[in-house]
Structures are given as structure tokens and as C-alpha cells.
Structure 1
Amino acid sequence: MGSGNLTARAGGPQGLTQGLTRGPRPGPVPEAALSGPEEAALAGRLRAHVEHLASDIGERHLFRPGSLEAAADYVAGQWSALGLAVRRQAFLARGLPCANLEVELGGVELGGEGGGPGPILVVGAHYDSLEGCPGANDNASGVAVLLELARELRGRLGPAPSRRVRLVAFANEEPPFFRTPEMGSAVYAARAWQRREPIVGALVLETVGYYSDAPGSQRYPPPLSMLHSHRGDFVAFVANLRSRLWLRQAARAFRRQGLLPLEDVATLTAIPGVAWGDQRSFWQAGYRALMVTDTALYRYPWYHSPEDTPDKLDYRRLARLCRALAGTVAELAGAPGRR
């Protein structure tokens, strides 16, 4: 998750909570519904992805190009093993080669720039880490979910959803590339806009693996602290004001899955943390987008530190998130039999 001084995209204090949508939080999910062999296997695969990226590879950034390339190869290899055609979007940053990677689901194969016709739903996560950090939660957790969504969605989308689903792994989200044209998602969103690709919305997975049931384990930037739970047991959907309809649609679909509590807000990007991620690149290009997050520094004590290691994460709840997002994406994509 990148950070920095942000500029408001809507005016006035009255906009701080405009578009806020909050539905009922699901009650406790029966343990039996989450501890079967399929759920345990999913949690195990998520852990294996995080451990490979954060421990076996470790720091992943352009100043360690071998590690960044190894992470990209791992992502591509996992998708290829599922029989998916992986496309690399190559670009230069600081004169060095790097790439975004994408696969497309829903019965349409990628065929060169832009793929096939029809509206597109993007799900993305950055695979680099901050210099000096192994990046287990930020953002191997997001990449792990992205990889497993490919597996989960194959059985949910069917042959002809009304929207194509693209899964995209971005390079260069972290400083010094954050908020620059060399940020991988900025390259991706700008090229999509230049090609007039009909992206109806994006879900950006950013630091999604840490949860706590302890009172006071969740903090917020003011003024949002008055509106939300102070237990870090939920996932958050965060959007800018222009994306509030997309947020409402996604939040309703996610809550219908009944697997994990959700807090959601559409608000000013001037609030620290709201625009700290790849969702900002889609906003800048004119697309709707939201961030899916555990709220990073507002909950996770080891954010942007060398202690951001795989042992800190809650893989059982990460598996719940993955399954809930698979159902959400299938619904948003208009898969047959979905709302």
C-alpha cells in the first residue's frame, strides 16, 4: 500500500461520509461451515502463496529486479497451471523492464491488446513490496487471494457471464513509484482508457490478511471513527465519491455471501488511507473502483516494516474473504443463476 499527501477530489466537509452504505453485519458463521476440507485446503493454498512470496522470494521491487521477476513468474505460473492464458503488459520504470500480468475469465480468451468485446470487471492486486519489507500482508495477502480467485471463479462464472472478469497483478505500487506514471496500475488504467476499454468497475485487493476480535484493535482517521466498529474483525470496502454506486452494488453482493463482516464507505480522497492503493489509478483514468482492505496501518501493527511476515496473518478468515469475493465477483459479473 503506497502512501503520501493526497488531494481531495470532492469539496467540503459535508462530503466526508456522502455515499456511506452500511448494511447489517452477519452474525457468527457456524464453524462447521468454514472448517471443512475445502475451506482448509483453500486456507492452506493461501498460506503457501504468502509464504512463497514473502519468505522464499522476500522483498519484491524494482531495485531487486530478480525478486520482482521471480514474483511475476510465480503469479504467471500459478495461473498457467489452471489452464489460463496469461498476458504480460510490459513497460519501463527507471529504464528497467517490469510488467503487469492479467488473465481473463468468462469464456473469452485474451487476444492481443484489449481482449474481446463487452463490459469488463477488473480485480487487481500489486505484487511488489516496499523496500526493506517482506510484504506478507502488504501485499502477498492480496496476491494470494487474486491467485485463488481464478480457481474459485472457474466454477461460478459459467460460460457466458454478462461481464468479462479480468484478474490483474500490478507492479510498482509502493514508493517511490506510488502516484507516478511508472506505477503499474497507472500504466494499466491509462492504456485501458486510451483503448476505450469498457471497464465497469475495479476491485483492488490491498493488505487483506490481518484480523482481530479484541476491543480497540481497530483505529480510523477522523472523522470516520464515529461511524464504524472498533474491533478489527471485518473487511472494508473504500471508494471515492464518484464510485459510490459501484460501492453499493459490491457491498450488497458481498453481504449476501454471509461469510465476513463488512464496513464500507465512499468519501473524500483527502482522508489519509482512502487513496493509498491501486484504486487511485483507476479513479485518475475516470473508472469506478474500490479498495478491499483490512485497513492496513489502522489495524496492522507491522505495516510497512520488516516484521510484516507470514506468521502474522489469519488464513482462515483470508479463506472466507476469498470465497466471499468469488461470490461477489460472480454476482457483479452477471453469471447465470446469480442475482
Structure 2
Amino acid sequence: MEQVIGAQAGRHAKNIQELNRVSAWIREQMRLFGVPCQYQNYTANSLPYRNVVCSLNAGKKQKVIVGAHYDVLEDTTGADDNASGVAGVIEVARILATEKTSLKHNVDFVFYTLAEPPYFGTENMGSFIHAKSVAKQKQNIAGVYILEMIGYFDENEVQQYPAGLKWIYPAHGNFIAAVGNLMSRDLTYDYCAAMRKLNQLQCERLIAPSFMQDLDFSDHSNYWKFDFPAITITDTAMYRNKYYHTRQDTLDRLDTEKMGQVVNGVVKMLLN
């Protein structure tokens, strides 16, 4: 994760050089696992940006996408948001590359740029660019799993929720959440079922209409726009991590053991 964060902690939309350094590093890590990658280049406000799209072909008819954004909000460090997710996707790829014959589907690992403001919610988000291209190519997508902040946990009763949910879900901040819309409910079930089998970390499902407050706070929502089932796997971001979008979002605040457990759940879900 140190390589993702970098010495300057400046992988934001204005610092294209740093974004390119991080994306090149990601591509090289995946190459070391035998997972080929290509850049998906595009422009936003006449400036060049790129996603990294890496493919693990198991000879199956359907594909799943496992993704995470690698950019940050300007003037933040971005350890949990979202170096944790990037590290998680890379680790999933490393493990699955050794288990290719046991995969249920082909897997694309996608690392997105421009998920953060000022581009969040626009068609310049890297995930929108990718989702649109997948739809145009009519790819057979079984599901999309976005790792969005997977490293911050707290056993104390610090957990917050959108209005009306705090009476239903745990008060402690020591679980991982699978968040999706009604179309994506089976994906939330599959992930939490895998987590239950591992019996390492509590998993909570949140399924609600797409218009619910903050349900669309990550890259998964761009796939909904093209009718792909997609969920985010998350520590719930600003509803738990008080350092969200600050310079205090640093590596020392992350629980790498639980991050590994989150990854184990993704791996178990994707293998036969």
C-alpha cells in the first residue's frame, strides 16, 4: 500500500504524473502474477487519464469484475480510501492466478481513476467509462464487485448509518458490508455466505432501492446505469471512518488482518 500512496500522497486528478506512476506500478504487479493488463485511456477536460484493466481467462462463458479506484481526493492521504481496496484487488488476483482452473467465471480486475471529486458522479469517472465500454461490447457479466475502503475497523460502538437503519444493523464498527441495489441482492448474499463459511469476520448485507441516500457512493453505481448487477464491499466509509477524506487517513490506522479476511471472502466466493 505504500507504493499506492507514494511519498507525495498526491494521486489526485490534478497530479497526472502520480496517477500514471501508480497505474504503472499496478500493471507491473499484476504482470508478476501472470495476469496481463492494458490501459483504458480516455480524456477528461482535455487531460489524459487511464484505467487499468487486467484479465484472468479461465475459459468460461461469463465474466465477473473485481475493481477498486486508485485515485484520491486532493489534499488527502487515501490509505483506507482507497489504497486498501487496490491492495485487496491485487491480492485477490494473486491468489486466483494460482487457482485458475477452479474459477467459476473469467475475471477482470479493474483499477479505476477519477472516482473522487470533482469527477465523482460524472461520466468522467473511470468506472463509468469502463461500464459503458463493457455494455457496448455486450460482455456477459455475471456480477461486479467493488472493493471500496476495506481496512478500517473499530470494536467500539462507533458505527453510523443513513437515516432509519441504525435500529437494524450493529452499533460496533467491526464488520464488513456488502451493499447493493435490488437487482444486485444475490451478489450480496453470495459474498456474505462466503464470509460466513470462513467464520473470520462478520458480514452485513444492505439491499435497498438505488435512490436510497448514499447507496451510490462508489464505483458500483455506474454499472447499475447499464443494468449490470454490482455491489460494493466496504467498511462503510464515512459512516465509520472518522478520518475519511482527511490527511489522517493513514496506513497505521488500518487493520491488515481483517483486510486479508475480506479478501479471503472474495476468493472463496469466486472459486468452485
- TM-score category by the smaller chain? over 0.9
Q: What corresponds to 1:154 in structure 2? A: 97
Q: What corresponds to 1:22 in structure 2? A: none
Structure 1 residues 162 and 297: CA distance shift in structure 2, 3 A: closer
Matched, 1:285 2:226: yes
Contact 2:104 2:270 (8 Å CA) reproduced:
no
Tell me the secondary structure at the aligned position of residue 263 of structure 1.
strand
- Work out which of the residue numbers 234, 249, 261 in structure 1 matches 2:175: 234
The one-letter code of the counterpart of 2:71 is D
Q: What corresponds to 1:131 in structure 2? A: 74
Matched, 1:102 2:53: yes
Matched, 1:198 2:140: yes
- In 1, distance between residues paired with 2:14 and 2:217? 21
The one-letter code of the counterpart of 2:38 is R
Contact 1:137 1:209 (8 Å CA) reproduced:
yes
Q: What corresponds to 2:192 in structure 1? A: 251
* Pairs within 5 Å for 1:1-339: 50-107=1-58, 118-158=61-101, 161-214=103-156, 216-330=157-271, 338=272
Q: Offset at 1:162?
A: 4.0
Identity of aligned residues (%): 30
The one-letter code of the counterpart of 1:75 is I
- In 2, distance between residues paired with 1:240 and 1:289? 8
- In 1, distance between residues paired with 2:219 and 2:249? 20
Q: Offset at 1:223?
A: 1.1
- In 1, distance between residues paired with 2:216 and 2:140? 22
Q: Offset at 1:171?
A: 0.7
Tell me the secondary structure at the aligned position of residue 225 of structure 2.
helix
Contact 1:54 1:310 (8 Å CA) reproduced:
no
RMSD after superposition: 1.5
Q: Offset at 1:100?
A: 1.0
Q: Offset at 1:250?
A: 2.9
Tell me the secondary structure at the aligned position of residue 73 of structure 1.
helix
Q: What corresponds to 1:47 in structure 2? A: none
Structure 1 residues 171 and 77: CA distance shift in structure 2, 3 A: same
TM-score between both structures, scaled by the size of structure 1: 0.77
The one-letter code of the counterpart of 1:97 is P
Q: Which has the higher contact order (CA 8 A, sep 6+)?
A: 1
- In 1, distance between residues paired with 2:256 and 2:190? 26
TM-score between both structures, scaled by the size of structure 2: 0.95
- In 2, distance between residues paired with 1:157 and 1:265? 30
Q: Offset at 1:271?
A: 3.2
- After superposition, the C-alpha distances for 1:264-287 in whole angstroms (9 at most, x for unaligned) are 111133333211000010001110
The one-letter code of the counterpart of 1:193 is A
Q: Offset at 1:153?
A: 1.1
- In 2, distance between residues paired with 1:321 and 1:246? 15
- In 1, distance between residues paired with 2:130 and 2:121? 13
Q: Offset at 1:178?
A: 1.1
Q: Offset at 1:133?
A: 0.7
Contact 2:190 2:269 (8 Å CA) reproduced:
no
Structure 1 residues 157 and 226: CA distance shift in structure 2, 3 A: farther
- In 1, distance between residues paired with 2:115 and 2:124? 9
Tell me the secondary structure at the aligned position of residue 3 of structure 2.
helix
Q: What corresponds to 1:111 in structure 2? A: none
- In 1, distance between residues paired with 2:130 and 2:213? 24
- After superposition, the C-alpha distances for 1:287-314 in whole angstroms (9 at most, x for unaligned) are 0000100001111010011111111111
Query: Which of 1 and 2 has greater Rg?
Result: 1
Contact 1:118 1:198 (8 Å CA) reproduced:
yes
Tell me the secondary structure at the aligned position of residue 134 of structure 1.
coil
- In 2, distance between residues paired with 1:311 and 1:277? 24
- After superposition, the C-alpha distances for 1:85-112 in whole angstroms (9 at most, x for unaligned) are 111111111111111112122435xxxx
